């Protein structure tokens, strides 16, 4: 169907703040590194940064209710354009009034354009300068996603932040492939921005973020960053990371790329969530990040503690009636033991996924909240060192 870019502002719940201009203010810089705190002003409320965004791919964070998300303290979540476009489809969201109304979430939503999902369908897609042709992973039906279409769908969703359609090349790609992906992403950005600007003139208040690509070639990263800066979108994301590269290369690339980006715009590192990667991103001045790892690992029996990751399914937890983490303030750690949670996991009780996912999301939100406090106190590097030393040396909790 063709998306109507005219947005009913009352129906979508989006306020009438200025569509263009600065949406981000830096509050505090840490003097020992590039870490910073700030305020991101969006249509459904202000966001304190740095901020972690839980991933609700299909309009739902797996095993977590919206009340749980609010209770933990999240004011922004991520949903995925590709998945929502395929199911339930544009017509359902349009009839509901917006994704916010459809899922009963009155806070901010960032939507990925679907570029990464198309990238992951290597055998089912073909990418050209016109757009991405792909087959649905659900029923094999054929679709064509253009940068214009990606914007239009996200307008219909009512996204507070929407991402441009981009072409992500895999780790190990040749320079020629990386150059082509960068060039396509740049051309798609020009087209996405024009469609987004047209939509804002019709009442849409969501903000478009451009995406830096370039694979792991420093000069291509620099070129892509310059293209994004020239486009002057409200925010800039760093894409193409955490795609199988060695950790040393990740840290090197995120540091170099973040240093290229303008001070006054929010910086978003896409798809990172481990404590090590999150703290590295914050150290280099990244403001936003997301990942599915916390709920995915929770469902598979792995939870986070200050002493490192813990495998609840191990036999040693069968008679352990202590909480997941004695220092954690979440309701799961206050009310349930490792032994009970292991029992729920072994018996495949749905309650297990709900409780473990809640704890893991609480853990990462608490880590980022404490990182913000450390920056405000001008001691982020010490905080990072202390946390990772304990986290890494907490013993062998894998398995």
The one catalytic residue in 68, 290, 325, 366 is 290
Kindly report the number of other CB atoms within 10 A of residue 246's CB atom.
Answer: 10
Supply the pLDDT for residue 393. 82
List C-alpha distances in Å: 128 to 167, 174, 238.
10, 17, 22
Supply the pLDDT for residue 125. 82
322-330: Cβ within 8 A, 24+ apart: 324/359, 325/359, 325/363, 328/359, 328/362, 328/363, 328/366, 329/362, 329/366, 330/72, 330/358, 330/359, 330/362, 330/363, 330/366
Reply yes or no on whether the pLDDT at 20 is more than 70. Answer: no
Kindly report the number of other CB atoms within 10 A of residue 321's CB atom.
Answer: 10
Cis ω for the linkage preceding 50 (within 30 of 0) = yes
The rounded mean pLDDT for the chain is 92
Reply yes or no on whether the pLDDT at 65 is more than 70. Answer: yes
Query: Is 166 known to be catalytic?
Result: no
For 238-280, how does the pLDDT look when each residue is reduced to its tens digit (9 = 90+)? Answer: 999 999 999 999 999 999 999 999 999 999 999 999 999 999 9
List C-alpha distances in Å: 247 to 238, 253, 297.
16, 10, 19
What average pLDDT score do residues 144-172 get? 96
Query: Is 112 known to be catalytic?
Result: yes
Confidence of residue 397 (pLDDT cuts 50, 70, 90): very low
Phi and psi, residue 13, nearest 5°:
80, 5
143 in Cβ contact with 136 (< 8 Å): yes
User: Please, which residues have CB within 8 angstroms of residue 97's CB and are 6 or more apart in sequence?
Assistant: 8, 11, 12, 13, 158
What average pLDDT score do residues 169-182 get? 95
Task: Calculate what percentage of the chain has a pLDDT beyond 90.
Answer: 87
The one catalytic residue in 68, 112, 160, 287 is 112
For 321-360, how does the pLDDT look when each residue is reduced to its tens digit (9 = 90+)? Answer: 999 999 999 999 999 999 999 999 999 999 999 999 999 9
Which pTM value belongs to this model? 0.93
For 202-233, how does the pLDDT look when each residue is reduced to its tens digit (9 = 90+)? Answer: 999 999 999 999 999 999 999 999 999 999 99
């Amino acid at each position: 169907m063709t998306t109507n870019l005219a947005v009913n502002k009352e129906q979508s719940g989006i306020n009438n703040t200025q569509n263009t201009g600065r949406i981000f203010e830096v509050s505090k810089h840490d003097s020992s590194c590039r870490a910073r705190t700030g305020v991101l002003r969006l249509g459904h409320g202000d966001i304190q940064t740095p901020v972690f965004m839980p991933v609700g791919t299909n309009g739902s964070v797996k095993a977590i209710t919206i009340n749980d998300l609010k209770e933990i303290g999240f004011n922004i979540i991520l949903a995925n354009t590709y998945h929502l476009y395929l199911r339930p489809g544009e017509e359902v969201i349009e009839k509901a009034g917006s994704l916010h109304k459809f899922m009963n979430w009155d806070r901010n939503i960032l939507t990925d354009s679907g570029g990464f999902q198309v990238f992951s369908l290597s055998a089912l897609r073909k990418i050209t300068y016109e757009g991405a042709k792909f087959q649905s992973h659900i029923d094999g039906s054929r679709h064509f996603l253009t940068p214009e279409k990606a914007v239009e769908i996200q307008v219909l969703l009512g996204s507070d932040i929407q991402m441009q359609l981009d072409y992500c090349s895999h780790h190990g790609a040749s320079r020629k492939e990386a150059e082509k992906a960068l060039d396509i992403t740049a051309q798609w950005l020009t087209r996405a921005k024009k469609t987004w600007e047209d939509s804002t003139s019709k009442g849409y208040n969501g903000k478009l973020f451009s995406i830096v690509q370039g694979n792991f070639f420093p000069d291509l990263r620099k070129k892509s960053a310059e293209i994004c800066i020239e486009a002057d979108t409200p925010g800039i994301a760093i894409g193409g990371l955490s795609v199988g590269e060695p950790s040393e290369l990740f840290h090197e690339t995120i540091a170099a790329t973040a240093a290229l980006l303008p001070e006054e715009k929010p910086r978003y590192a896409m798809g990172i969530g481990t404590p090590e990667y999150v703290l590295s991103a914050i150290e280099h001045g990244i403001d936003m990040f997301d990942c599915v790892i916390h709920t995915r690992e929770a469902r598979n029996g792995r939870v986070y503690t200050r002493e490192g990751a813990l495998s609840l399914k191990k036999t040693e937890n069968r008679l352990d009636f202590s909480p997941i983490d004695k220092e954690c303030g979440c309701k799961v750690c206050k009310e349930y033991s490792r032994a009970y949670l292991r029992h729920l996991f072994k018996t495949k009780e749905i309650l297990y996924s709900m409780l473990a996912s809640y704890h893991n999301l609480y853990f990462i939100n608490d880590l980022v909240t404490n990182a913000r406090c450390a920056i405000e106190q001008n001691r982020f590097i010490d905080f990072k060192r202390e946390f990772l030393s304990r986290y890494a040396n907490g013993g062998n909790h894998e398995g």
